[in-house]
């Protein structure tokens, strides 16, 4: 799985429209983002490797499949936390790492302030979670970091992207598929996605 994936689903469209609405309160925003996240993570999970497994049911034997890679979720703080609960609904067994990075208000470059999580990501399926892919600086940076930790099977799960962010990701990490609910036309002079939904972290945390 590579490239850009935009799920064509009425529930995804509904949730995104509600999140965009300036009248949506932080508590509503949290609930909506939590309910959107599983749809995006489900889409990003396509193509995960599986192995055949036979199990004994109460009524017989069934041939099935099990995922072979351990799943690690990497929300980019702060706003990526908004996708975490929903992602854990899809992968309750996942391990969770964190990359704390904020975008400098003048240079728009990511500034890292925290990193924790499993040290060795070599045999893992890594899902980087960040609702906004604007210039792409934060996502490119975070994926550089998980690659330094050995990750090779990486997916980026976002809610909204701008063409600049998608291009930056394709250039820096062509191997990493991106799942996003929509790609908006442009960025404004403060590098916010337009029409977008505003500052995802501020809307989620009510700051
Ligand atoms: C936001 C968002 C992304 C980043 C996207 O984080 O959550 O991490 O901006 O912008 P980029 O693609 O241009 O890097 P922000 O810096 O506002 O920090 P926050 O999540 O703590 O609010
Ligand atoms: N970060 C956000 O939270 N929103 C944007 O539109 C761009 C970056």
Q: Please write the tens of the pLDDT for every residue from 117-150.
A: 998 999 999 999 999 999 999 999 999 999 999 9
Which sign, positive or negative, has the C-alpha torsion 159, 162, 165, 168?
Answer: positive
Share in percent of the chain as helix, strand, coil (round to 5): 35, 30, 35
DSSP 133-144: ESSSHHHHHHHH
**Mean of pLDDT values over 11-37:** 98
142 lines ligand 2 (CB under 6 A): no
Burial per residue of 83-119, b for 16 or more beta-carbon CB atoms within 10 angstroms, e otherwise? bbebbbebbeebebbbbbbebeeeeeebeeeebebbe
3-state secondary structure of 57: strand
pTM, entire model: 0.96
Q: Is the pLDDT of residue 103 over 90?
A: no
Give the model's confidence band at 93: pLDDT under 50 very low, under 70 low, under 90 confident, else very high.
very high
Strand boundaries in the chain, DSSP class E: 4-5, 50-57, 60-67, 70-77, 95-96, 98-103, 110-116, 124-129, 132-133, 153-157, 160-161, 178-179, 182-183, 186-187, 193-194
135 lines ligand 1 (CB under 6 A): yes
Q: Over the chain, what is the mean pLDDT?
A: 96
CATH fold of 4-205, please?
A: Rossmann fold (3.40.50)
- Active-site residue, 167 included: no
Give the model's confidence band at 2: pLDDT under 50 very low, under 70 low, under 90 confident, else very high.
confident
Q: Is the pLDDT of residue 1 over 90?
A: no
Q: What is the residue extent of each domain of the chain?
A: 4-205
192 lines ligand 2 (CB under 6 A): yes
200 lines ligand 1 (CB under 6 A): yes
Catalytic residue from among 30, 103, 155, 203: 103
112 lines ligand 2 (CB under 6 A): no
Q: Please write the tens of the pLDDT for every residue from 145-169.
A: 999 999 999 999 999 999 999 999 9
**Ligand 1 pocket test target in 132, 156, 172 with most atoms within 8 Å of CB:** 132
> What gap in Å lies between CA 81 and CA 77, rounded to an integer?
6
Q: Is the pLDDT of residue 89 over 90?
A: yes
For the CA of 79, the nearest atom of ligand 2: 3
Q: Please write the tens of the pLDDT for every residue from 46-55.
A: 999 999 999 9
Taking a C-beta distance cutoff of 8 angstroms, is the pair 156, 74 a contact? no
Q: Is the pLDDT of residue 95 over 90?
A: yes
For the CA of 203, the nearest atom of ligand 2: 3
H-assigned helices in 45-120: 81-90
Taking a C-beta distance cutoff of 8 angstroms, is the pair 71, 127 a contact? yes
């Amino acid at each position: 799985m590579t490239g850009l994936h935009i799920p064509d689903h009425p529930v995804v469209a509904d949730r995104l429209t509600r999140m965009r609405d300036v009248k949506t309160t932080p508590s509503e925003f949290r609930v909506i983002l939590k309910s959107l996240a599983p749809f995006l993570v489900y889409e990003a999970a396509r193509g995960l490797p599986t192995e055949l497994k036979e199990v004994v049911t109460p009524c017989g034997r069934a041939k099935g499949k099990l995922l072979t890679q351990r799943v690690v979720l990497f929300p980019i703080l702060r706003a990526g936390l908004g996708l975490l609960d929903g992602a854990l609904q899809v992968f309750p067994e996942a391990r969770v790492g964190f990359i704390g990075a904020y975008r400098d208000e003048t240079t728009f470059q990511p500034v890292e302030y925290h990193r924790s999580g499993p040290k060795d990501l070599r045999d893992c399926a890594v899902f980087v979670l960040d609702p906004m892919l604007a210039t792409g600086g934060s996502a490119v940076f975070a994926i550089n970091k998980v690659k330094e930790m050995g990750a090779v099977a990486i997916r980026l799960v976002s809610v909204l992207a701008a063409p600049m962010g998608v291009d930056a990701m394709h250039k820096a990490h062509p191997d990493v598929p991106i799942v996003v609910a929509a790609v908006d036309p442009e960025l404004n002079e403060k590098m916010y996605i337009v029409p977008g939904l505003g500052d995802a972290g501020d809307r989620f945390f009510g700051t």
